[in-house]
Amino acid sequence: MNVYDFDKTIYDGDSSVDFYKYCLKNQLGLMKHWPKQTKAMFDYKRGKITKTEMKTIFYEYMADIDNLNKVITDFWNENRKKLKPWYLEQRRDDDVIVSASPEFFLKPICDELNIHLIGSVVDPRNGKNLRPNCYGAEKVKRFEEKFDLKDMEEFYSDSYSDDPLAQYATKSFLVKGNELLDW
């Protein structure tokens, strides 16, 4: 099986940020969350809160979205074009996405691609992370809950923060735009 990070790896950009912008375009009232989100981002950068705590605060805006599932479906209908062609050409049914983005958010596009998904477990009703953010070494832990690490053939990511998981692949690639470089 091949394993992929999602954002900036097989998706051109950060899907969570793109979704936030998409929602803001359609519901300007979500801007009321900016002060708290901005403070959380700075608190995280200064080491006052964890990445999981910062993301919980960021995702709180989702509680104010009417018919969230429909909005997510509409977002993916508009943004599936941002899936990178190199990935679509090599996609396999046993591919696994391991992402820090919320599972409920990536599930529709992964279901459409007919691939496995491991992501951050976030309650869409309030933005609360129900488990640690699926990032760094947490990706290894989460992968091992569903699959055997020795079954990983190739691993792809845009970031060396995924090195804990990349170490288990037979071959790993660093993704820079559409260029695949040896890890």
Instruction: Look at residue 64 in the predicted model and tell me its pLDDT.
Output: 94
Specify the number of domains making up the chain.
1
The CATH number of whichever domain residue 36 belongs to comes to 3.40.50.1000
**122 by DSSP, 3-state: which?**
strand
**6 by DSSP, 3-state: which?**
coil
Q: Which of 108, 79, 66, 90 is nearest to 12 (CA)?
A: 79
pLDDT tens by residue, 52-79: 999 999 999 999 998 999 999 999 999 9
Instruction: Look at residue 164 in the predicted model and tell me its pLDDT.
Output: 97
pLDDT tens by residue, 119-176: 999 999 898 999 999 999 999 999 999 999 999 999 999 999 999 999 999 999 999 9
Q: Which residues contact 117 (CB under 8 A, 6 or more apart)?
A: 96, 97, 99, 103, 106, 107, 110
Residue numbers of the domain that contains 170: 2-182
Q: Which residue has the tokens 């992929």?
A: 4
Instruction: Look at residue 77 in the predicted model and tell me its pLDDT.
Output: 97
Q: Which of 116, 157, 160, 165 is nearest to 138 (CA)?
A: 165
Q: pTM of the entire structure? A: 0.93
